């Protein structure tokens, strides 16, 4: 579904990513792990079009998407969440989801301004679909509250809800468990699996919480200082000598 080929990215003199290649199969949860500064978020930003790679290509469903702007990539079916939550803070919880529906609706400026029947019908559909998504992520009771007033756990949920409102086939999650407590994290792991199994969404997950990663991933890519260190199933990664030295540490108990 997603081919990453020889991706290299420089920031000034710094090489953020060097010659990264891997392939994400449809219908799986692929985790990208690595120490801070390994280039994980940079890679997500390249896939979602925020950065253009200096070398290499990204192909999504056979289509080359490097040098494509983020909104077109969203249209192609890739959505994402952010490491530092980027909700629309002054809008309500429901409205945040409704913005996600923007992409899949088409009423024009005049139709909206004069509230033509076509626009009104579409608006009702947007509302209905968004309410359904709120129900799905379990935030219906917060519908009319400002997004900025939510606690971090619900903020992260809402970000995922907003992302699935765009009907993605590939969802990029950037550290969705950061800031969550243990209960919320296990809740999240259940929810991510549900997205894969019920909604058929392929997921790329950047995460530091090793328990979550090892629990839900089908495949793992390990980055270290912008280079690819290893790739494999959770089992393989946990037994990989290179990965243990560089990242997981000698004492596996601490991380697992």
Partner 1 sequence: MQITNRNIFIGFSIIIIILPLIFTSSYSLSIATFSAINSLIAIGLCVLMGYAGQVSLGQAGFYGIGAYVSSILSIHLGLPVIFACIVAMIASALSAVILAIPALRLKGHYLAVATLGFGEIIHIILNEWGPGGPSGFGDIPRFNLFGFVFDTVMEYYYLSWFVVMIVMAFSINLINSRFGRALRSIHDSEIASNAMGVDVPKLKIKAFVLSAVFAALGGSLYAHYVTFISPSSFSLFQSVLVLMMVVVGGITNLWGAVVGSIIITILPELLREFKEYDILVYGIILILTLLFFNKGLVPIVIEKLQKVKP
Please give the residue ranges that form the binding site for partner 1 (CB under 8 A). Answer: 48, 50, 69-71, 74-75, 79-80, 82, 86-91, 95, 98-103, 105, 107, 109, 112-115, 119, 122-123, 126, 162-163, 165-166
90: phi then psi, degrees, rounded to nearest 5: -85, 0
Task: Evaluate whether 230 touches 224 at the Cβ level (below 8 Å).
Answer: no
Give me the DSSP letters along 137-156: HT-GGGTTSBGGGS-HHHHH
Minimum distance between the CB of residue 252 and partner 1, rounded to whole angstroms?
36
256 HSE (CA, 13 A, CB side): 14
- Residue 5 or 95: which CB sits closer to partner 1? 95
Minimum distance between the CB of residue 125 and partner 1, rounded to whole angstroms?
11
Listed in sequence order, the residues at least 6 apart from 198 whose beta carbon sits closer than 8 Å to its beta carbon are none
- Residue 25 or 104: which CB sits closer to partner 1? 104
144 HSE (CA, 13 A, CB side): 0
* Chain centroid, CA 94 distance in Å: 20
- Residue 113 or 249: which CB sits closer to partner 1? 113
- Residue 11 or 102: which CB sits closer to partner 1? 102
Minimum distance between the CB of residue 255 and partner 1, rounded to whole angstroms?
31
Minimum distance between the CB of residue 110 and partner 1, rounded to whole angstroms?
9
Minimum distance between the CB of residue 103 and partner 1, rounded to whole angstroms?
3
Please report, to the nearest 10 degrees, the dihedral formed by the alpha carbons of residues 26, 64, 75, 200 taken in order.
0
Task: Evaluate whether 58 touches 66 at the Cβ level (below 8 Å).
Answer: yes
- Residue 17 or 126: which CB sits closer to partner 1? 126
């Amino acid at each position: 579904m997603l081919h990453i080929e020889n991706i290299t990215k420089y920031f000034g003199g710094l090489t953020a990513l060097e010659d990264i290649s891997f392939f994400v199969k449809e219908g799986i949860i692929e985790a990208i792990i690595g120490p801070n500064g390994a280039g994980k978020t940079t890679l997500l930003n390249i896939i979602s079009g925020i950065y253009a790679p200096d070398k290499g290509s990204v192909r999504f469903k056979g289509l080359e998407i490097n040098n494509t702007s983020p909104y077109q990539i969203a249209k192609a079916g890739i959505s994402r969440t952010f490491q530092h939550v980027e909700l629309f803070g002054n809008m309500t919880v429901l409205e945040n989801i409704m913005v996600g529906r923007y992409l899949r609706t088409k009423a024009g400026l005049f139709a909206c301004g004069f509230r033509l029947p076509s626009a009104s019908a579409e608006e009702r559909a947007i509302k209905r679909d968004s309410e359904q998504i709120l129900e799905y992520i379990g935030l219906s009771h917060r519908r009319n509250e400002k997004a900025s007033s939510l606690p971090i756990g619900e903020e992260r949920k809402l970000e995922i809800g907003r992302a699935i409102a765009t009907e993605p086939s590939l969802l990029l999650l950037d550290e969705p468990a950061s800031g969550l407590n243990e209960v919320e994290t296990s809740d999240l792991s259940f929810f991510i699996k549900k997205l894969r199994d019920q909604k058929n969404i392929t997921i790329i997950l950047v995460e530091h919480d090793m328990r979550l990663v090892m629990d839900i991933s089908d495949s793992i890519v390990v980055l270290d200082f912008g280079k690819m260190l290893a790739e494999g199933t959770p089992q393989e990664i946990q037994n990989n000598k290179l990965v243990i030295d560089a990242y997981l540490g000698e004492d596996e108990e601490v991380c697992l």
